[in-house]
Amino acid sequence: MNDALARAESLIDLTPDYPEPGILFRDISPLLADPEALRVACAALVEPFEGRFDIVGGIEARGFLLAGYVAAIAGVGVLPIRKAGKLPKPAAAVSYDLEYGSAAIEAPGVLRPGERVLLLDDVLATGGTLAAAQQLIRDLGAEVAGSAVVLELVDLGGRAVAGDVHTLFTAHESA
């Protein structure tokens, strides 16, 4: 890892016992607020996929921020992937299981058949949201060009659910 990426990683804030005792929460907000760290992180997120995507899908909510930045730099559009009930006319929706219960995500009907979508999000934890976003893209007739996240919580096994994901940084659930 180069010095600029190491500096970006050092900006991830750690909050013990949030949102519940025993959880070490990792907040990428300080990384997003630092212009150089944001630039370096977004460049590293997209690097393996350069020239291989037509639009960037951002998963609500911090994925929107990453997708917007990457799309502007790459000269492509953004596909907002929203929590269910946030779009007036969703073109498709996918439900997925959470640790306790279920959730759903939706996308608007802006994709063209065969369009290549790069999916971005902040954290890969259990992989359910990212796997649902991948299915959503396929249900809309488009192709998943790749998936990338800033941080992977390795101990939660998200790759077993979401498949191959490009991650900038990795961490263990409690450390």
pLDDT at 43: 97
pLDDT at 63: 96
pLDDT at 148: 98
CA 67 from chain centre, in angstroms, equals 8
pLDDT digits (tens, 9 = 90+) for 112-152: 999 999 999 999 999 999 999 999 999 999 999 999 999 99
Active site residues: 62, 99
Torsion angles phi and psi, residue 72, rounded to 5? -65, -45
Torsion angles phi and psi, residue 92, rounded to 5? -160, 155
Closest CA to 45 of 74, 17, 3: 74
- The verdict on pTM exceeding 0.85 is yes
pLDDT at 98: 77
**Is residue 40 within 8 Å of residue 109, measured between CB atoms?**
no
Instruction: Assign 174 a pLDDT band (cuts: 50, 70, 90).
Output: low
pLDDT digits (tens, 9 = 90+) for 9-33: 999 999 999 988 988 999 999 999 9
pLDDT digits (tens, 9 = 90+) for 51-106: 999 999 999 999 999 999 999 999 999 999 999 999 999 999 999 987 678 999 99
pLDDT digits (tens, 9 = 90+) for 158-173: 999 999 999 999 998 6
